[in-house]
Amino acid sequence: MTDPNRRKFLEAAGSLATAASLTRKAHAADAPVGVALIGCGGMGTSHLKLLAKNPELKVVALSDVDSDRLAAAAQIVVEAGHAMPATHQDLRNVLDDKSVEAVWIATPDHWHAPAAILAARAGKHVYVEKPCSHNLREGRLMIEAARESGKVMQVGTQSRSTAHIIAAVERLKAGAIGDVLVAKAWNSQLRGNIGHASPGDPPPNLNFEAWLGPVPERPYQKNLLHSIWRFWYEFGVGDIGNDGVHDIDIARWGLGVQSHPSTVTAAGSKYFFDDDQQFPDTQYCIFEWPADGTVAHKRMLVYEQRDWSPYVQEGFENGNAFYGTRGMLILGKNGGWKLYGPRNKLIEEMSGGFDLAAHHQNFLDCIRSGNRPNADIEINHLSTSLCHLANIACRLGRVLHFEPAAEKVVGDDEADGMLRRTYREGHWAVPKGV
């Protein structure tokens, strides 16, 4: 005999499923969302391959300052059976195009905030890659641009839309391991040596001036780009802002902290690589959230980075550990998780991998519903700020005392000044208010 409660549940679930599929059908019947990709490099190409096969949208324009990459990206769209998109070296042409409703920004980090702010203020919904900003101040200005324009601003931390990670955080929030007092994030993998190089001429396919954009002028050299710009202060946020920010974001999410930390302690530098990269290859960082007068509110996040490890930690090259008062959970964003109780008894496990398509879908759903996306700019600003603060603490070799509401380093003007950057004077992309 069918349990009447279960039958009611199934009926309710059935009608919910029907409503969901009707909604999806209504969306599919809508005109496709016109989108553009800005930055057609490694990650841009991964996005484009998904965008080109999504019937809910239409790739109408592409932008890159490297003509070879722009041509290769256009080819992907055409090979997927679509009309040739408009191609532009100057991203302002994308922002002027009325058929572009949303942009995917997969440029180097120094362009994220300038491009995202201009795009939102031009009336485009924005999907911008992580780390959301090159420096902390830019993140705040991105939030303001998103809120003032009323546009969706999703950041590319796809773990926020990935089923096994959502499930893990649900377990943590439900108290499956008690109070989670400490979380750890690690990035332990083997990176490449970028060598030493001298200034030279950029290749003919690259508009290096446009690549620099709002960054002060400097000569080209071949170990600045592509992709390896992330190891230079002027352009990236180091590996902590590259792979590390994914793990830090998951750690902060599972820890349940929704503000900046009050204390940042960090050590690290180059222990391994003899090359031109500027950020640490080895980094240990500790972030503490205050007690608010009660012991039970204290939380700690620990980040470890070793870019010279030809082995993994706890089974994952990038991972998280959540330490609770009744158990622990070990997670790999590309792998799965295991939840242990007292005396290391395995209680539950789940496998899974990053779901980029789900993150795209969440962005599109929010464009239509007006809801805040899973990795809303305000969420990622908090996670990316941890990377910025840790880098400053490492570079100065000092503990930072941070005032979360004012976004200020207290009692250290030099560190506080590093929450911002210097821009190229008068450049059109310099965000207002920096």
Ligand X SMILES: NC(=O)c1ccc[n+]([C@@H]2O[C@H](COP(=O)([O-])OP(=O)(O)OC[C@H]3O[C@@H](n4cnc5c(N)ncnc54)[C@H](O)[C@@H]3O)[C@@H](O)[C@H]2O)c1
Q: Does 329 bind ligand X (CB under 6 A)?
A: no
Question: How buried is 213 (Cβ within 10 angstroms: 0-12 exposed, 13-18 middle, 19+ buried)?
Answer: buried
* Min separation Cβ 64 and ligand X, Å: 4
Q: Output the smallest distance, CB 93 to ligand X, in A.
A: 10
Q: 419 — phi, psi (to 5°)? A: -75, -10
Q: Strand pairing of 33-38 and 102-105? A: parallel
The residue within the footprint of ligand X, chosen from 34, 85, 156, 244 (CB under 6 A), is 156
Pairing of strands 282-289, 263-269: antiparallel
Instruction: Determine the 3-state secondary structure of 49 from DSSP.
Output: helix
Residues between 198 and 237 that touch ligand X (CB under 6 A): 210-211, 213, 225-227
**Residue nearest ligand X, CB atom distance:** 41
Asked if 332 is part of the footprint of ligand X (rule: CB under 6 A), the reply reads no
Q: Is 40 a binder of ligand X (CB under 6 A)? A: yes
CB nearer to ligand X: pick between 161 and 282: 161
For residue 247, state whether it binds ligand X (rule: CB under 6 A): no
Using the rule CB under 6 A, is 321 a contact of ligand X?
no
Report which secondary-structure segment, H or E, holds 99: none
CB of 22 to ligand X, least distance (A): 32
Task: Tell me which stretch binds ligand X (CB under 6 A): 11-19, 33-41, 385-393, 405-413.
Answer: 33-41
CB nearer to ligand X: pick between 213 and 319:
213
Provide, rounded to whole angstroms, the least separation between the CB of residue 129 and ligand X: 4
| Among the listed residues 36, 38, 51, 364, the single contact to ligand X using CB under 6 A | 38
d(CA 108, CA 230): 7
Q: Among 58-66, 141-149, 191-199, 286-294, which window interacts with ligand X (CB under 6 A)? A: 58-66
In whole angstroms, the minimum distance from the beta carbon of 245 to ligand X comes to: 8
Kind of pairing, strands 408-409 and 318-324? unpaired
- By CB under 6 A, the residues from 381 to 420 that bind ligand X are none
Contact of 169 with 364, CB cutoff 8 Å: no
Write the DSSP string, 230-291.
GGSTTT--TTTTTTHHHHHHHHHHHHT--S--SEEEEEEE-SS--SS--S-SEEEEEEEE--
- Please, which of residues 114-153 interact with ligand X by CB under 6 A? 129-130
Question: Least distance from C-beta 47 to ligand X, angstroms?
Answer: 9
The region of 2-10, 100-108, 307-315, 337-345 touching ligand X under the rule CB under 6 A is 100-108
Separation of alpha carbons 65 and 52, rounded Å:
21
Per DSSP, what are the bridge partners of residue 283?
A: 268, 305
What are the residues whose beta carbons fall under 8 Å from the beta carbon of 399, sequence distance 6 or more? 263, 264, 265, 393
Q: Binders of ligand X: how many residues, by CB under 6 A?
A: 29
Residue 420 makes CB contacts below 8 A (sequence gap 6+) with 135, 136, 137, 434
Shortest reach from residue 356's CB to ligand X, in Å: 7
Query: Are 125 and 367 spatial neighbours (Cβ–Cβ below 8 Å)?
Result: yes
Binding interface with ligand X (CB under 6 A)? 38-44, 63-66, 69, 91, 106-109, 111, 129-130, 156, 158, 210-211, 213, 225-227, 242
